[in-house]
Structure 1
Amino acid sequence: MRRQTSTGGPDSAGSSRGLRLDPLSLPVSFAARDSRADGGIRQIELHRERVTLHRAVHGMRMTISVRVSEFAGVTVRDTADGQALVLLHRDPSLAIPLLVTDDAVERDAAWQAWSEVLALPQLADDRRDPAPRRRRCNAISERRPSFLMRRRCGYLLGPAAIYRGEREIIARN
């Protein structure tokens, strides 16, 4: 399998101008802009099954590996350099640029190709369904299983019966 790498220079894959990645020659490794990262650049490795991001934030190096199936889909966004084809994640800092161009025909062909190769839907706009609501954290739910939450506690039933003066049967051996 052949590997694409960025070559540097003014029109490298990491710059927003001239970004063109081929979906049929994965895996690909390139640099992209990241406003939060030190130096404003992050390294991205894109495979068919996973995406690995390498960046440093405030001097701390980090590697983030995300499965491709966790991305919402492939969408088009307007940028200062033209329209960008983006691999969209629900965390905006994990969105991956795939193509920046002004040519609508080239963009639509790449949009279809990336969607098929990564098995992700083509999103017409950035709007997605909201994430499902998370369960509230409750102090007692951490201590007792949920099926016991429905049962009545022993102290609500009244005092326990005490038997005095009776002979006990004790089995020894």
Structure 2
Amino acid sequence: MRRQTQPSGINPAGSSRLRLDPLSLPLCFSARDVRADGGVRQVEIHRERVVLRRRIAGMRMAVNVRVSDFIGIGLRGIDGEAQMLALIHRDPSLTIPLGISADREELDAASAMWSEIFGLPQLPEEKRREPAARRRRRNVISKRRPRFLVRRRAGDTARELSVHRGEREIIARN
């Protein structure tokens, strides 16, 4: 049986203000997930790993991610003056919210504590950027040769094979 942990933090994750305490690990809380059934996922944060539990199309799944796989601790703007302190991953769907507040000093102090506990760098605040343009799927290279033939070296049919005549051959006969 799995060890049960109590939800921690001042306010639950569904409220407008979230603040998790890094000194009371392991933590277990609910966070918003637009792709999950019910729009909610369960997050467990331990010192070495983060476990995300959610249900998609009726199928339960648990994603276990090492803390060392995360990029760092960073601030993300939400709306107006509120900002979110998050454990940032390369895959945006694996980013974990750690705190939401409008007080910048409080978020900076919390960021330093989370960074020290996990041994991850503090990332600069990310500006909203336009996503990169999609690459074209059909390009010139795809029309040359099939992939399995690219690995093979093409034969040289222009050159005639050499034939040796008038020489003694050694043939093994039974």
Give the structure-1-normalised TM-score. 0.71
Residue-by-residue CA offset, 1:22-69 (whole Å, 9 max, x unaligned): 222322221111111111110112122222211112222222222222
| Helix, strand or coil at the partner of 1:114 | helix
| Helix, strand or coil at the partner of 1:85 | strand
Which residue pairs with 1:89 in the alignment? 89
Which residue pairs with 2:73 in the alignment? 74
Separation (CA, whole Å) in 2 of partners of 1:96 and 1:66: 11
Instruction: Note the 1:1-173 alignment, pairs <5 A.
Output: 4-6=5-7, 11-12=11-12, 14-80=13-79, 82-126=82-126, 139-140=146-147, 144=151, 153-155=154-156, 158-164=159-165, 166-170=167-171
| Helix, strand or coil at the partner of 2:93 | helix
- Asked if the contact 1:74–1:88 (Cα under 8 Å) also holds between the matched residues in 2, the reply is yes
Q: Closer, same or farther in 2 for the Cα pair 1:142/1:114, shift >3 Å?
A: farther
Q: Structure 2: 5+ residue runs without aligned partners?
A: 128-138
Q: Which amino acid aligns with 1:76?
A: L
Q: Structure 1: 5+ residue runs without aligned partners?
A: 128-135
Q: Report the number of matched residues.
A: 156
Separation (CA, whole Å) in 2 of partners of 1:95 and 1:102: 20
Aligned structure 1 segments of 4 or more residues deviating by more than 4 angstroms: 136-139
CA deviation after TM superposition for structure 1 residue 140, in Å? 3.4
| Helix, strand or coil at the partner of 1:167 | coil
- Asked if the contact 1:31–1:44 (Cα under 8 Å) also holds between the matched residues in 2, the reply is yes
CA deviation after TM superposition for structure 1 residue 4, in Å? 4.7
CA deviation after TM superposition for structure 1 residue 108, in Å? 1.3
Separation (CA, whole Å) in 2 of partners of 1:164 and 1:27: 83
